[in-house]
Copies of this chain bind each other. A is one copy, B any other.
Amino acid sequence: MLQSELKLRRDKIRALMAQQEIDAAIITCNVNLVYTCGRVVSGYFYLPLQQPARLFVKRPNDLKGEFVAPIRKPEQLPDLLEEQGLPLPKRLMLEGDELPFREYNRLAACFPGSEVLPCGTELIRRARSVKTEMEVEVFRRSAAAHARAYAQIPSVYRPGMTDRQLSVEIERLMRQEGCLGIFRVFGRSMEIFMGSVLAGDNAAAPSPYDFALGGEGIDPSLPGGANGTTLQAGQSVMVDLGGNFFGYMCDMSRVYSIGRLPQKAYDAHQACLEAQAEVTALARPGITCEALYNKAVEVVAKAGFADNFMGIGQKAKFVGHGIGLEINEAPVLAPRIRQELEPGMVFALEPKIVLPGVGPVGIENSWAVTADGVEKLTVAPEEIIEL
């Protein structure tokens, strides 16, 4: 990756560090290394406020560069910094919401003379929430590949398939278009394989995970997504796979039907499209997340679908979420979130309705916030497509 791009990202983190008088960060979690160094390594990225950054690498053993040095264990860090002519930090930040408790403590203990702060995750996620031009461009390329894969979905459907069989074929389309497959989520408790394909009443199954819709899954060790439902006439199917083609998690849902659906399903789908239209007409720098959430609820309620919005028995309490190297970044479009949109933020907006006896309808696209509005990244037909 371009050094100028990495410098831009590092300086965004540094600006936030300066506000809290933090004079160095140690970054060692994979997504934050991808953000600041352009790749995953096993090692420690040392980011001082004033001096050039250093990358201390355990593995791979063939990485070279002016500011790259080998390391075996974190206890070497103070000596290695001294060798590089860097002072030990006064206030050092670590990734306190990502590093496991014991690993955090081991790393902190290497710097007994420093004040060690756990705000690294929070602050780096704040920097990551506003994308650079290059990051938005990567999202555009991801969205195009994502749309190419979805365009082929009707060609892999066969009557009599289960939701799971259809999911496997769509996963293959995604992989063929270049999807890396891996689905990165912030936080230890959410897990998913590539995304979900939800048909019929399975879309209402309450989930342990905080995704928009759940699904029962086929094994209690991963209770989410397709559950083996045989696809039948009158059912809707929502495809919601993560589009990680170059590290960034593009997000996009489309709805398919087996034959025709009851009219109510088309009405509900239309309500979601209207919610999307009205929310994105409002979306621009300065508007609050809660205002966008409230607008979506208002549109859907006016159409008479409030009870079925974002699930039935267990509802998701958001209508959109930031996306980036992880599927759940800032901002979150949810009640009581006063955070304002900023140019460069990228988010998924996913108004969805679940109808008992039919299944899920609605829409999800990825959007980039521009200087005066939003740009739709995932451009593809939005009507319900009959399979």
Query: Which A residues are closer than 8 A to B by beta carbons?
Result: 1, 28-30, 34, 38-43, 58-62, 94, 96-105, 118, 121, 165, 168-169, 171-172, 175-176, 178, 180-182, 188-189, 191-194, 205-210, 214, 218-223, 245-247, 313-314, 325
Q: Please judge, given known A-B contacts A60-B208, A207-B59, A209-B59, whether A171 and B175 are in contact too, CB under 8 Å.
A: yes
Nearest neighbor of A245 in chain B, beta-carbon distance: B219
Taking a contact as CB atoms under 8 Å apart, the answer to whether A182 and B189 are in contact is: no
Nearest neighbor of A1 in chain B, beta-carbon distance: B220
Q: Inside 8 A of A34's CB, which chain B residues have their CB?
A: 220-221
A sample of 9 inter-chain contacts (CB < 8 A) reads A42-B189, A43-B208, A60-B206, A100-B100, A100-B104, A102-B121, A172-B172, A181-B194, A182-B191
Taking a contact as CB atoms under 8 Å apart, the answer to whether B221 and A188 are in contact is: no
**In the complex, how many angstroms separate the beta carbon of A354 from the nearest chain B beta carbon?**
15
Taking a contact as CB atoms under 8 Å apart, the answer to whether B314 and A62 are in contact is: yes
Q: Inside 8 A of A246's CB, which chain B residues have their CB?
A: 219, 221
Compute how far the CA of A207 lies from the CA of B58 in the bound complex, rounded to whole angstroms.
10
Taking a contact as CB atoms under 8 Å apart, the answer to whether A172 and B168 are in contact is: yes
Q: Inside 8 A of A222's CB, which chain B residues have their CB?
A: 40, 180, 182, 247
**In the complex, how many angstroms separate the beta carbon of A37 from the nearest chain B beta carbon?**
9
From B193, B206, B208, B210, A180 is in contact (CB under 8 Å) with: B193
From B39, B188, B191, B193, A100 is in contact (CB under 8 Å) with: B188
Nearest neighbor of A37 in chain B, beta-carbon distance: B220
Q: Please judge, given known A-B contacts A168-B172, A180-B193, A182-B193, whether A220 and B39 are in contact too, CB under 8 Å.
A: yes
Compute how far the CA of A130 lies from the CA of B218 in the bound complex, rounded to whole angstroms.
26
Q: Inside 8 A of A171's CB, which chain B residues have their CB?
A: 171-172, 175, 181
Taking a contact as CB atoms under 8 Å apart, the answer to whether B188 and A40 are in contact is: no
Nearest neighbor of A193 in chain B, beta-carbon distance: B181
Compute how far the CA of A193 lies from the CA of B340 in the bound complex, rounded to whole angstroms.
35
Q: Inside 8 A of A205's CB, which chain B residues have their CB?
A: 60
Q: Inside 8 A of A172's CB, which chain B residues have their CB?
A: 168-169, 171-172
Taking a contact as CB atoms under 8 Å apart, the answer to whether B62 and A180 are in contact is: no
Taking a contact as CB atoms under 8 Å apart, the answer to whether A40 and B220 are in contact is: yes
**In the complex, how many angstroms separate the beta carbon of A138 from the nearest chain B beta carbon?**
10
From B41, B193, B210, A208 is in contact (CB under 8 Å) with: B41
Taking a contact as CB atoms under 8 Å apart, the answer to whether A59 and B314 are in contact is: yes
Q: Please judge, given known A-B contacts A96-B102, A180-B193, A189-B30, whether A221 and B168 are in contact too, CB under 8 Å.
A: no
**In the complex, how many angstroms separate the beta carbon of A166 from the nearest chain B beta carbon?**
11
Q: Inside 8 A of A218's CB, which chain B residues have their CB?
A: 178, 180
Q: Which of A181, A191, A192, A313 is the most central at the interface, judged by chain B CB atoms within 10 Å of its CB?
A: A181
**In the complex, how many angstroms separate the beta carbon of A312 from the nearest chain B beta carbon?**
11
